[in-house]
């Protein structure tokens, strides 16, 4: 994905544009004893989590444990049955929708795409929270959309209908929408879905650059524990709707953790490049082991 970095774009545009309000996020997002569910099914059961401002972290856990449900509750997409989600110390449910959208953005899993919409039209929707009742489109909006398309490598697809994109291209278009919104807190549910290894790293690098250059608080749901460790200040592990652990990757991701949370026997070593935990399943989880077992 050919794109410019945040530093390059800022060097090209030193007089302002979408960077002129860059600052370390001091907004605080916290869950206090939150319970969330669907119908009679309680999915999140009294979960507590204080997200450090201007940090980058990952929510991990087995399928069906409530990761995506919890992320939606943080974004006010799902109301808490009990407990509270607090934004800057106030119940997020009591804040005006527009105010929340100016501070907090979310990229959900498999979002619905309006029929016939182009990439540029989709990304432009990220600017809606910044317009007043009588506010029209302005040069800052153009700059924000252009930058988001450039950062995600989607500029050449700006006139392409989203429906015609590949899964990976579509994912990058939605990430561009989130970037155009220019919120201080960004929640992403499996942002590397549909992406090959190179694009996964490109997207995570981009999010890391946003965190470093702008102080954007990044919260991601990820399945790959090694990638989560590589790109996170902190890890929140969810199991059966509760917090199984939260802390630095080196503190959380251990062989006992992988066994208890994922029911998987593994070896946890250290990445020689990043010095972060790397999870390797034991040797019986491989093709050679299956063939050996079939012969015995």
Encode pLDDT of 90-135 as tens digits: 999 999 999 999 999 999 887 888 889 999 999 999 998 887 655 6
pLDDT band for position 214 (cuts 50, 70, 90): confident
* Spans of all domains in the chain: 6-253
Question: pTM for the full model?
Answer: 0.85
The pLDDT value given to residue 5: 55
Span 18-30, mean pLDDT?
A: 63
| Residues 6+ away with beta carbon under 8 Å from 159 | 118, 119, 120
Tens digits of residue pLDDT in 34-58: 999 999 999 999 999 999 999 999 9
Q: Which CATH class is domain 6-253?
A: alpha beta
Beta bridge partners of 91: 86
Start-to-end C-alpha separation, the chain: 47
* Least confident residue range of 53-67, 75-89, 98-112, 259-273: 98-112
Convert the pLDDT of each residue in 156-198 to its tens digit: 999 999 999 988 888 889 889 989 999 999 999 999 988 889 8
* Contact by Cβ (8 Å): 244, 61: yes
pLDDT at 114: 83
Indicate if the pLDDT at residue 237 is higher than 90.
Answer: yes
pLDDT tens digits along 198-208: 889 988 998 99
Tokens 């049955």 belong to which residue?
81
57 closest CA partner among 253, 270, 246, 261: 246
Calculate the CA 230 to chain-centre distance: 14
- Give the DSSP per-residue string, 85-135: EEETTEEGGGS-HHHHHHHEEEE-SS----TT-BHHHHHHGGGGGG--SS-
- The pLDDT of residue 69 is 96
Residue 140 has pLDDT above 70, yes or no: yes
Q: How far apart are alpha carbons 19 and 294 in whole angstroms?
A: 60
Integer angstrom CA distances of residue 209 from 10, 14, 60, 179, 222: 12, 18, 22, 12, 18
Output DSSP code: residue 283.
T
pLDDT at 20: 40
């Amino acid at each position: 994905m050919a794109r410019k970095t945040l530093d390059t774009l800022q060097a090209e545009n030193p007089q302002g544009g979408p960077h002129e309000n860059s600052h370390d996020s001091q907004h605080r997002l916290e869950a206090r004893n939150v319970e969330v569910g669907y119908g009679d099914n309680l999915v999140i059961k009294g979960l507590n989590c204080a997200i450090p401002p201007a940090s980058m972290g990952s929510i991990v856990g087995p399928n069906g444990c409530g990761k995506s449900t919890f992320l939606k509750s943080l974004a006010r997409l799902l109301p808490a049955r009990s407990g509270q989600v607090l934004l800057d110390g106030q119940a997020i449910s009591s804040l005006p929708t527009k105010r929340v959208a100016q501070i907090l953005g979310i990229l959900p899993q498999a979002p619905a795409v309006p029929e016939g919409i182009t990439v540029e039209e989709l990304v432009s929707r990220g600017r809606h929270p910044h317009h007043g009742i009588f506010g029209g489109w302005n040069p800052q909006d153009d700059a924000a959309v252009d930058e988001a398309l450039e950062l995600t490598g989607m500029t050449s697809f700006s006139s392409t209908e989203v429906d015609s994109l590949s899964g990976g291209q579509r994912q990058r278009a939605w990430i561009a929408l989130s970037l155009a919104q220019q919120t201080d807190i960004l929640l992403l549910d499996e942002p590397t879905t549909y992406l090959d290894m190179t694009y996964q790293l490109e997207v995570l690098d981009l999010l890391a650059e946003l965190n470093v250059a702008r102080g954007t608080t990044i919260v991601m749901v990820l399945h790959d524990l090694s990638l989560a460790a590589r790109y996170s200040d902190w890890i929140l592990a969810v199991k059966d709707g509760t917090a199984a652990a939260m802390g630095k990757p080196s503190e959380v991701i251990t062989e006992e953790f992988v066994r208890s949370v994922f029911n998987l026997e593994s070896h946890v070593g250290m990445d020689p490049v990043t010095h972060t935990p790397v999870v390797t399943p034991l040797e019986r989880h491989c093709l050679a082991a299956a063939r050996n077992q079939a012969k015995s």
